[in-house]
Amino acid sequence: MNKDATIIVTGAAGFIASCLVSYLNENKFTNLILVDQFDEEEKELNLLHKQYLVRVERDNFFEWLEEEKPVIDFVFHLGARTDTTEFDYEVHYQLNVLFTQQIWHYCSTHKVPIVYASSAATYGDGSLGYEDDHALVPRLKPLNPYGLSKNNVDSWILEQAAKPPFWAGLKFFNVYGPNEYHKARMASVVFHAYNQVKDHDLVKLFRSHKEGCRDGEQLRDFIYVKDVIKVCYWMMEHFSTVPSGLYNLGTGKSRTFIDLVKSAYKAIDKPAVIQFMDMPQDLRETYQYFTEARMQKLWNAGYREPFYSLEEGVYDYVKHYLIPRRYY
């Protein structure tokens, strides 16, 4: 991709997208059109010192495109309502479904390649496995409205006759890393673990409410945000040779929450102290006890970069971002 390329990034003030903006800047891409609701003061710090052409308010985005008629080379659609505890589907539908469909139509009409954020939440309880196989999508049963909205988008896209020249829906697994200070309850377990150690000298984890799974041994595929943005960037650089489709984006190796907390303690150089607490009732029926990305599809597409191990990623995040409260 030419360094003069004009690139749209939605959700630009958020966690993953703001990290991607930094990575694009590092790689000399500055002709960026940032799209978001720029109304949260704390999220403003995610964009401090970053280079871009213009910010566009999300609600005015399509009107702006119609008026300005920019020539766009690539779209990263990472904006979404990601709150898994929001059970009003209509809230997710407006942003995660309708807005994505509008962007899809724009990219199809104007022949613009697109990478968009799907989610491992589409896999529900995992009983059907974690293969990023298109044939599996109609059978998936997400556990919450967020996952349902993402799966509905994936299903809709697979049915479309009109498509962009390249498209990829990345099924993000458990992403952690810098620039999530604003996410409050929805921030990663690493973020919460660090702050609990700092404030209380211990970490509280949810008890298991599933027979056969011991407390703290719930398994998740944790992936560092720096790996996520490298894959996004690689997709842009190689879109002419990468097959379009849905792709898992995890490490391919599940780890326990105890492993994660011990990694955080090691980065702080303290002995681990863990207490267990009951999971809130509103989460128990929709909780995933095991996730693990099947990554063969991405490897087959040509991606070869190694991912951070959990220990490496947590150490980098805690040591270089959380302790000095730095942004990426």
Active site residues: 146, 183
In the chain, DSSP assigns E strands to: 7-10, 32-36, 54-57, 74-77, 114-119, 167-172, 174-176, 203-206, 219-220, 222-224, 245-249, 255-256, 274-277
CA distance 89 to 261: 32
CA dihedral 46, 52, 58, 61 (to 10 degrees): -170
Q: Count of residues for the chain?
A: 328
CA pseudo-torsion sign 310, 312, 318, 320:
negative
In 173-306, DSSP assigns E strands to: 174-176, 203-206, 219-220, 222-224, 245-249, 255-256, 274-277
CA distance 245 to 113: 12
SS3 57: strand
CA distance 226 to 245: 22
Nearest to 179 by CA among 141, 136, 134, 224: 224
